[in-house]
Amino acid sequence: MQVPTNNTALVVAAHPDDEVLGCGGTIARLATAGCDVHVAFLADGVGSRDVAQRVDAGQLEQRRAAAQKAADILGVASVSFDDLPDNRLDTVPLLDIAQRVETLVSQYQPGMVLTHFAGDLNIDHRRVHQGVVTACRPQQGDPVRQLLCFEVASST
């Protein structure tokens, strides 16, 4: 794996832990090679764990702290958390997902973007993939030169 020419990569994942399970080794390798790796999570990752479909603030904070700790171990430059509904991204318009990814691409200017595999069984993973592919379609002036996909074995 080569470091992107502009030395910046963006990992867009549905939930905290998807990035480690799907491409943790690649993240560590890129970071070790001097690449600035930014990780963005689009869904809260805990909302569907409660029967009442509520986000428990304590669970959310604990999950985010664990994701930050994993990112620190892997050498990630930054981590961002969004608040889309867990296991319900099929209820979010694709345009909304793509626009969030476009904002991330504009902010970080990555030469490489890594995201979920299109054939994943998890609906959130598939929707994030669709949003990333839409946002990273080839357009003049966009920085993305490589779009790579990872699979999360537990849901593929």
Computed over every residue of the chain, the mean pLDDT equals 92
The average pLDDT across 4-21 equals 95
pLDDT (0 to 100) of residue 154: 78
The residue with greater pLDDT, 113 or 153, is 113
What does the block give as tokens for 96?
């909304």
Any domain includes 143: yes
pLDDT (0 to 100) of residue 126: 97
The pLDDT tens digits of the residues spanning 86-123 come to: 999 999 999 999 999 999 999 999 999 999 999 999 99
This prediction's pTM: 0.92
pLDDT(12) > 60: yes
HEC assignment per residue over 65-82:
HHHHHHHHHHCCCEEEEE
Looking up residue 43, the CATH number of its domain turns out to be 3.40.50.10320
pLDDT (0 to 100) of residue 129: 98
| Confidence band of 48 (pLDDT split at 50, 70, 90) | low
Any domain includes 84: yes
pLDDT (0 to 100) of residue 47: 59
The b/e string for 13-41 (b: 16+ C-beta within 10 A; e otherwise) is: bbbbbbbbebbbebbbbbbeeebbbbbbb
Proportion of the chain above pLDDT 90, given as a percent: 81
Any domain includes 87: yes
Give the contacts of 103 (CB within 8 A, at least 6 positions apart): none
Any domain includes 2: no
Any domain includes 49: yes
What does the block give as tokens for 80?
């961002």
Any domain includes 147: yes
For the chain, how long is the longest CA-to-CA vector? Answer: 46
The CB density around residue 103, as the number of other CB atoms within 10 Å, is 14
Any domain includes 1: no
The pLDDT tens digits of the residues spanning 49-58 come to: 454 455 567 8
Any domain includes 62: no
What's the total number of domains in the chain? 1
Range of the domain at 144: 8-55+69-155
The residue with greater pLDDT, 1 or 124, is 124
The average pLDDT across 24-42 equals 98
